[in-house]
Amino acid sequence: MTSEDIALTGERQAAARRLLAAPLVTDRTHPEDFALIRTHSDWLIQRFWRVLGYELTVAADHARLAKTGLARPAARPLTRPSGADFTPRTYSYLALCLAVLVEAPETLTAARLADDVSAAAAEAGLTLDPRERMAERRAFSAALRKLAEWGAVGEHEGELAAYADDPAEEVVLTVHQEAVRSVVAHPPHAAADARAFVDEHDSADPAGEDAGEIALRRALAETAVVYRADLSERQRRRLANHQWRAAAELGDLLGCDTEVRAEGVALIMPADAAAEGVSAFPRADPVGQAALLLLERLVARLAPAQAAENGVEVPEDVLTAELAEVLDADDGARPGHGARSALRHEPDPDTLAARALRLLHDTALLHHPDPSGAPRSGWRLRAAAARYCGRPSGAPSPSPAQAGSAEASAGTAR
């Protein structure tokens, strides 16, 4: 293979990794990535459909990868800039904003949009009004900031963060209607309830052999680690029969290696994936740093490589002690100092610990039956954690850059 062929392959795979991690890519949010996607659109459209059954649409100013299947296993809540999960109220404002913005003018103020959203809510029989109270306005602003993050709207004048605190702050928004229309990949339709709607889009274990193999590839691509024990009997058989073919297909699409062990399978992304910000773990942000430090300490104490299929129990006192070591911020030399300092705006001192534990749960390195409350009891360290061998107590912690490139990245962000 010539150097030109290698460069071409690398560009295509980098573009595919970006789309898998951020299914809506615009020329405003990721200009360099979007240029690559436009350049290699034919290859990406064909490969995503053949390998994962995902439909990719590339327009003049944005690209949208419409995913299907794995509605529950790969679903992650949207978050505010603080890291807090969206509440049902914030999701409602997001839906109302989308309904209004598809017919909005090219520019409008946040105050005008708040008026229109209030009218749309009343028409839908919802008691939501972003003009009434600060809590309502902040939920409304969080929805708008997410749309700005996706490139569906832009802050032409003023800042939405300031408007969230003071309604007198004038913010002029630019509306990118084609991107707004692409936010919802699967438009809603009549369903008995929310669970029935999700069930219609969940095809993690189809009966057909071809569909089942595609579902298996989706699981490998969208979840950090696929444990054999977590699969149905039918999918376990498919994994045993097709794991190397799936590894080859996904490697060609994403430029990843595949680690196959008795317990399961994980995709190992190239070192570039950390710099691209598309890896699931490790990550260089404060939460990722805290999670990596905690994981290393737990691995050193509990030896998950010798674990049973369901992992090693993490005693409550051990988890509490190790979290205290990681999050202690008495001075700049302590491991958790940078992470805690970056999150001092969080009202709850346990927020960083909760988010680090949730990250480890989402990447299948720790497990808890109900991780939302981040309790200290009931956690289990899973077998894949053994690849992050523990650093001796007292050893210096890695810098964010080192953590981002430590080994390779297991899995991809959803």
What's the confidence (pLDDT) of residue 360? 92
Q: Which of 184-193, 319-328, 400-409 has the highest mean pLDDT?
A: 319-328
Q: Is 374 in contact with 320 (CB distance < 8 Å)? A: no
Q: How far is CA 188 from the centre of its chain?
A: 22
Record the pTM: 0.83
Residues 6+ apart with CB under 8 A from 51: 214, 217, 249, 250, 252, 253
The better pLDDT of the pair 291, 340 is held by 291
Least-confidence region, from 29-43, 80-94, 339-353, 372-386: 339-353
Mean pLDDT of all residues belonging to the chain? 83
3-state secondary structure of 53: coil
The better pLDDT of the pair 151, 397 is held by 151
The predicted-structure confidence for 141-167, as pLDDT tens digits, reads as follows 999 999 999 999 999 999 999 999 898
Report how far residue 122's alpha carbon sits from residue 139's, in angstroms, rounded to the nearest whole number.
17
What's the confidence (pLDDT) of residue 183? 93
Q: Is 248 in contact with 278 (CB distance < 8 Å)? A: no
Residue 354 has pLDDT above 80, yes or no: yes
Report how far residue 225's alpha carbon sits from residue 220's, in angstroms, rounded to the nearest whole number.
7
Longest dimension (CA), the chain: 63
Token look-up 């008026």 returns 115
The predicted-structure confidence for 31-48, as pLDDT tens digits, reads as follows 999 999 999 999 999 999
Report how far residue 231's alpha carbon sits from residue 216's, in angstroms, rounded to the nearest whole number.
10
